[in-house]
Amino acid sequence: MFVRTATASTTAAALLGAGALLLPAERPEAPERQTAPGVVAHRGASGYAPENTLAAVDAADALGIDWVENDVHRTRDGVLVVLHDTDLKRTTDAEQVFPDRAPWAVKDFTAAELAKLDAGSWFGAQFTGARIPTLTQFLNRLERNRQKLLLEIKSPATYPGIERDIIRVLGRSGWLDRSHVRNRLVIQSFGADSVKQVHTLRPDITTGFLGTPAVADLPSYAAFTDQINPSYATIGADYVAAVQRLKGPHGKRLRVNTWTVNKAADAVKARDFGVDGIITNFPDVVRDATS
C-alpha cells in the first residue's frame, strides 16, 4: 500500500474529507507458471525397486504414482514378458542358472525357464526371489492398484507379430474396454512401423513414438501417433512447441513425454520446456520438483 496526497479542488476535498486517500499499490503481473507435467514411473519406480518387477509397480503405487512404464518381449514359446534388455544378463541370474545358454537372449528361453530366474537380488538382497513377470501378471497388478500403463514394445523386429500378441493379451486382461483405452493405456515404441501397426490394428488406442524426429518430419508421424516421446537430452522449448502445434490421428494436439529425468533441476527445466509428461526412475523427486 502507498499514500497518495489529495490535491483536487476544494469541493472534491470536502467530499473526500481532509485525510489522505489510501489507494492500492500497482503490482507487477506474476510470471506465468507452467502446468505441472504428468509423472510416469520408468519401469516402475525403478530407483527404489528392481525395474519391471511387480515390486517396482507397487513402489510406484506407494508413492501415489498412477502411470507406470514397462517393456515387453516375447519368449521362445510365445509368452509376453516384462523386461527391458533383449538378454537376461544384467538383471537376472541367468548366467548361473543356465551357464551353457549364452548369449542368454530372452527369445531363446521359454516362459517356464524365465520363471526360475531371480530378477531382484541384483538390485538389493531384500528383493531376492523377485521374478520376471508375464505381461498378464503385470496388467493384473496394475489393475489391482488402479494404475495406468505406458507400454513399450521392445525390439519389435526381433518379434514379428508382437503387436497383435500384445493386443490379444490386453483384450483377455480387460484392458481394451472403453475406460482403459481412453484413460489408462498408451502403447509406444522406437520402431515407427510397430507404432503404425498398433494404430492399424486398434485405431482407438493412444500411441507414442519414442525418439526425436526432425521438425520437418513431424507431420508424417502425426498421421499415426498421438505422442512424440523424446530423450530429455535432445529437446528444448522450441522443439516441444513444434510438436504440440500438430494434431495426431485422434484430432488432439500431440503430446510430449520426455525421458529419463531423475534430477529435480532437470525436471524443472523439462517442465519449463512445456512437456506434458516426464518419465523417471524417481517419480516422487520429479513430482515434488515440478508441482
6 has a pLDDT exceeding 90: no
- Beta strands at 185-189 and 206-210: parallel, antiparallel or unpaired: parallel
pTM value? 0.88
Over range 30-43, report the average pLDDT.
Answer: 80
27 has a pLDDT exceeding 50: no
pLDDT computed for residue 33 by the predictor = 53
In the DSSP assignment, the letter for residue 78 is: S
What percent of the chain has pLDDT above 90?
88
16 has a pLDDT exceeding 90: no
205 has a pLDDT exceeding 80: yes
160 has a pLDDT exceeding 50: yes
Report H helices in the chain.
10-16, 54-62, 94-97, 111-114, 135-145, 162-172, 178-183, 192-201, 218-221, 237-244, 264-273, 283-290
Over range 116-131, report the average pLDDT.
Answer: 98
Over range 19-42, report the average pLDDT.
Answer: 61
Instruction: Report the candidate in 202, 152, 188, 165 with the shortest Cα–Cα distance to residue 79.
Output: 165
Among 19-33, 109-123, 257-271, where is mean pLDDT lowest? 19-33
Over range 206-210, report the average pLDDT.
Answer: 98
- Beta strands at 80-82 and 67-74: parallel, antiparallel or unpaired: antiparallel
Q: Is 250 considered catalytic here?
A: no
pLDDT in tens, 38-79: 999 999 999 999 999 999 999 999 999 999 999 999 999 999
pLDDT in tens, 215-269: 999 999 999 999 999 999 999 999 999 999 999 999 999 999 999 999 999 999 9
pLDDT computed for residue 184 by the predictor = 98
Element (H or E) spanning 29, and its range? none
- The catalytically annotated residue of 73, 84, 180, 199 is 84
2 has a pLDDT exceeding 60: no
pLDDT computed for residue 31 by the predictor = 42
Q: Is 84 considered catalytic here?
A: yes
pLDDT computed for residue 11 by the predictor = 36
5 has a pLDDT exceeding 70: no
- Largest Cα–Cα separation, the chain: 104
Over range 268-281, report the average pLDDT.
Answer: 98
Buried b (16+ CB within 10 A) or exposed e, 108-133: ebebebbeebbbbbbbeeebeebbbb
What percent of the chain has pLDDT above 70?
88
Mean pLDDT taken over the chain: 91
106 has a pLDDT exceeding 80: yes
Confidence band for 35, pLDDT divided at 50, 70 and 90: confident
Over range 117-137, report the average pLDDT.
Answer: 98
